[in-house]
Chain A
Amino acid sequence: MNPVYQRRRRLNRFVMVLCLAAALFGIAWLLMILVSLLIQGLPALSPSVFFERTQMSGGGLGNAILGSLVMTALATVGGSIIGIAAGTWLAEYGGRSHLANTIRFINDVLLSAPSIIVGLYIYAIIVLPMGHFSGWAGAASLMVLIIPVVIRSTEDMLLLVSGTLREAASALGAHRWWVVIRVCYTGAKAGIITGILLGCARISGETAPLLFTALNSNQWVFNLNSEMPNLPMVLYQNMTINSFIPAKVDLAWTGALILTAAVLILNILARFISARKG
């Protein structure tokens, strides 16, 4: 056989074996995490975990789950509206203009901005002036985190919609806004929803920004103006300052299992919907 061809084939086989090894390596680590989550989290899982509030020694996670749901929902709705609008401008109107490039660059920075910085920022602009921690501050910090994710995915997905579709709609007499809303959004819908859900999954597990904004509480709190219980902070506190109480650590693992399961279910649901419509 041709020596050049043999060399190319050898190189190919070598790289592909490396890729296989990488896949096995990565998937093994990740499986290990899931398995230990199941082993440590399942024993304490019971209906009372969902319906009882947090107490000094154990109790349930009901109030924390509710608080997390409220803050995540608020942040996701607000962040999606702002993010989709801004992403639309970047993709449809901004083009390669100086302003659009600047916004894109800033958005990339915010996308990678450490979540703890966002926590400090909300602390400085909301918590300090108000004088107390609150659910609003927590939701605001989560919203700041989800906006760049939605902007990025909206823009990317709109740019994937082919220009001929836009031209065809325009040729039929559709106005620009109508083209964007009916043609571009339809074409990019699955991608935008995926982006929102990725962002939602990200903020539902964020702990760092809530440290200085929503803090935590042992009560059933429906008042967004006071400290707000939330699942990630319960996990953090149970694993650090309360880690000497075994019941608290067990509860933290159960909470971790619930949180992870919620994120996964959310993702699977989104894939199901976008697969059916797309």
Chain B
Amino acid sequence: MTSTRSVSASQQQDLLGANAREQAALRRNGIIDRIFEKGTLTLALAVLALLGTIMASLIVAGWPALQELGWSFFTGDRWAANIEHFGALPAIYGTLVTSIIAIIIAVPVSLGIAIFLTELCPVSLRRVLGTMVELLAGVPSIIYGMWGVEVLSPFLREHFPTLFPAGTGLTTAGLILAIMIIPFITAITRDVMVTVPAMMRESAYGMGCTTWEVVRNVIFPSVRGGIVGGVILGLGRALGETMAVTFVIGNNLFLSPTLTGQGTSIAALIANQFPEADGLQRSALLLLGLVLFVITFIVLAIARLMLRRIENRAP
């Protein structure tokens, strides 16, 4: 790449019959070109270094706990710091269950809102509602947590006492997570749907497609990557969400087999115990952080593979 460019640059100089000043300018610009490319590359490589150091620091910090506890860390169904008994199962279970509940609720609703905003909504309302959704995607997670503990869980406790005896619990956390990621996924989905050229839409309508057929067969296929990306972001947010979940999950350190029972998640457990932790407990919590990171990594890798398969199938 570089060699062909320098050859063409020298040829250019001969062909253009550039004078000395112009040649100096060409050379200078060539150098700036190279510096610009190498500089941006260095900072792009910093991203790789970032991931590497995150992994390394968590492994190094969690190693003592792994050596001390071994497999019982992953199979233990109880987390009791006072007797140095650290089982990660309740937290892993809570993280997965709450995120799955959140995604099941949030994805159809988000896609529905996005379709409504781009295809159905009257043009005069479109900007207002679209802006509203985008703005709400930025509302900090701790706000949702405060709302969950002060408004949602008392409401659930009062109106559905059989399902939510305490108001807080795994399902409440899943519900809060769903509410949190709906504007997030919607904003991204809407953004990518808007980028579809009007001509594609119009030609499909011109062939007699219904609105749903246009969305299903024209818009979704051309922006599939963006939508899946949005859902991945939402899922990632739900898996690692800390503040909102900490408030409403109940923080019960035993494995709770029911969906409406109280539990804990990895992030909530770390947030609750890390500030006061020391020694083996701190190491165990950092190891738990590594587990959360690995779970996130696996989920994203699966999503990427699925995305690639869909892309390959498309003509």
Instruction: Please list the residues of chain A having a beta carbon within 8 angstroms of any beta carbon in chain B.
Output: 8-9, 11-12, 15-16, 18-23, 25-27, 29-30, 32-34, 36-37, 40, 82, 85-86, 88-90, 92-94, 100, 102-103, 105-118, 120-121, 124-125, 144, 147-148, 151, 160, 175-178, 180, 198, 201-202, 204-208, 211-212, 232, 235-236, 239-240, 252-253, 256, 259-260, 263-264, 267-268, 271
Contacts and interface: CB of A to CB of B under 8 A. Distances in A.
Interface string B82-125: 00000000000000000000000000111111011101110000
Interface of B: 29-30, 32-33, 36-37, 39-41, 43-48, 50-51, 53-54, 57-58, 60-61, 108-113, 115-117, 119-121, 129, 131-147, 149-151, 179, 182-183, 186, 195, 210-213, 229, 232-233, 235-237, 239-243, 247, 267, 270-271, 274-275, 285-286, 289, 292-293, 296-297, 300, 304
A15 B58 contact: no
B120 A20 contact: yes
A81 to B, nearest CB: 8
B57 A160 contact: no
A85 B179 contact: no
Contacts of A235: 142, 146
Given A22-B113, A232-B142, A112 B210 contact: no
B138 A267 contact: yes
A174 to B, nearest CB: 9
A211 B120 contact: no
Contacts of A113: 54, 236, 240, 293, 296
B60 A124 contact: yes
Given A26-B186, A177-B33, A12 B53 contact: no
A206 B140 contact: yes
A89 to B, nearest CB: 4
A23 B274 contact: no
A124 B286 contact: yes
A19 to B, nearest CB: 4
Given A27-B129, A29-B182, A22 B108 contact: yes
Contacts of A116: 240, 242, 267, 270-271, 289, 292
B48 to A, nearest CB: 6
A151 B47 contact: yes
A9 B210 CA distance: 7
8 tightest A-B CB contacts, nearest first: A114-B240, A205-B140, A112-B236, A22-B112, A89-B40, A201-B138, A12-B210, A208-B242
Main secondary structure of the interface of A (DSSP, over half): helix
B270 A19 contact: no
Given A177-B33, A205-B141, A117 B54 contact: yes
Given A175-B33, A211-B275, A259 B112 contact: no
A93 B41 contact: yes
A33 B144 contact: yes
Contact of A106 (B47, B241, B242): B47
A148 B44 CA distance: 10
Contacts of A20: 112, 116, 120
B211 A16 contact: yes
A103 B44 contact: yes
Contacts of A36: 147, 150-151
Contact of A112 (B32, B50, B115, B232): B232
A239 B140 CA distance: 15
B292 A117 contact: yes
A68 to B, nearest CB: 11
A256 B142 contact: yes
Nearest to B300: A109
Given A110-B47, A121-B57, A125-B53, A232 B286 contact: no
Given A16-B211, A19-B113, A27-B132, A86 B271 contact: no
A194 to B, nearest CB: 9
A106 B146 contact: no
A50 to B, nearest CB: 19
A40 B143 CA distance: 12
A88 B116 contact: no
Contacts of A92: 40
15 contacts: A22-B108, A27-B132, A107-B47, A112-B237, A113-B293, A118-B54, A121-B57, A147-B47, A175-B30, A177-B37, A235-B142, A253-B146, A260-B139, A264-B135, A268-B135
Contact of B143 (A22, A115, A260): A260
Contacts of B237: 112
A22 B233 CA distance: 20
A207 B29 contact: no
Given A202-B138, A260-B143, A267-B134, A114 B292 contact: yes
A103 B33 contact: no
B54 A177 contact: no
Nearest to B233: A112
A85 B51 contact: no
